């Protein structure tokens, strides 16, 4: 039992490291070759995890081999457009200038109902509002609405909004984020002075953030009983 437990931990750490090296894509954004490798890694890890009679290396070596294959294919995709088209495929236009491309739907084995479902997932209820719909290589559908159906932006009214910048976490659960303090050119003394305005110390804060307009949000941790 203990051996199985230890083997499971070792393989879990290995798979976690391998998936971390492979990148940060969400499952729905994986390319076909990435999805295939992910499934194979999970399968390879499960066998030696439960079968103690199988050497651990029988799972580790193939997993590392798949990682190398993934890195090589990813590098090839970066270097060659042709290779990228072969491995990942090409985006296909499903709706072109407001017209449904029936041949494209047939080639991608896409039904009208599936297309409408994907449009609804993009908050589009009326297919007549769509100028372009593109099936990406990841399986996601990108929707471009007709000009008169698009959400207005400040630019449409010749308005230039103030720069908002990026919000930074300065304290999380009482722990000071010194890296973020350095990024905004501040130090602990400044943070302490700011947080004391909320009648607490940084160590007592549940969360402290600062946005691009230097506005600070601060919330105190609740007392633990």
CA distance 169 to 167: 7
SS3 (DSSP) at 92: strand
In terms of residue numbers, what domain contains 188? 168-220
Domains: count for the chain: 3
Residue 163 lies in a domain: no
Residue 189 and residue 141 in one domain? no
Does the pLDDT value for residue 143 go beyond 80?
A: yes
| pLDDT, tens digit, 9 for 90 and up, residues 169-202 | 999 999 999 999 999 999 999 999 999 999 999 9
| pLDDT, tens digit, 9 for 90 and up, residues 58-116 | 888 888 888 888 888 888 888 888 888 777 788 999 999 999 999 999 998 888 999 99
Residue 79 and residue 12 in one domain? yes
Contact at 8 Å (CB) between 139 and 28?
yes
Residue 176: DSSP 8-state: E
**Final residue of a domain: which of 32, 63, 86?**
86
Residue 22 and residue 81 in one domain? yes
**Counting Cβ atoms within 10 Å, is residue 220 exposed (0-12), middle (13-18) or buried (19+)?**
middle
C-alpha distances in angstroms, 214 versus 39, 143, 204, 209? 45, 36, 21, 9
């Amino acid at each position: 039992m203990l051996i199985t437990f230890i083997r499971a931990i070792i393989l879990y750490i290995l798979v976690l490291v391998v998936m971390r090296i492979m990148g940060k894509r969400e499952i729905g954004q994986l390319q076909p070759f990435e999805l295939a490798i992910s499934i194979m890694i999970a399968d390879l890890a499960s066998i030696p995890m439960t079968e103690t009679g199988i050497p651990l290396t029988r799972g580790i070596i193939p997993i590392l081999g798949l990682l190398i294959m993934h890195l090589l294919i990813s590098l090839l995709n970066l270097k060659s457009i042709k290779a990228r088209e072969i491995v990942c495929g090409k985006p296909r236009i499903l709706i072109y200038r407001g017209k449904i491309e029936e041949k494209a739907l047939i080639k991608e084995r896409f039904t009208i109902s599936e297309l409408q479902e994907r449009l609804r997932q993009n908050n589009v209820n009326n297919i007549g509002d769509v100028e372009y719909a593109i099936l990406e290589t990841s399986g996601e559908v990108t929707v471009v609405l007709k000009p008169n159906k698009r959400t207005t932006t400040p630019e449409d009214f010749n308005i230039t909004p103030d720069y908002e910048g990026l919000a930074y976490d300065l304290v999380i659960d009482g722990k000071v984020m010194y890296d973020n303090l350095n990024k905004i050119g501040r130090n602990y003394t400044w943070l302490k002075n700011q947080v004391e305005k909320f009648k607490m110390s940084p160590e007592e804060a549940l969360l402290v953030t600062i946005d691009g307009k230097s506005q600070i949000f601060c919330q105190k941790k609740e007392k633990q009983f």
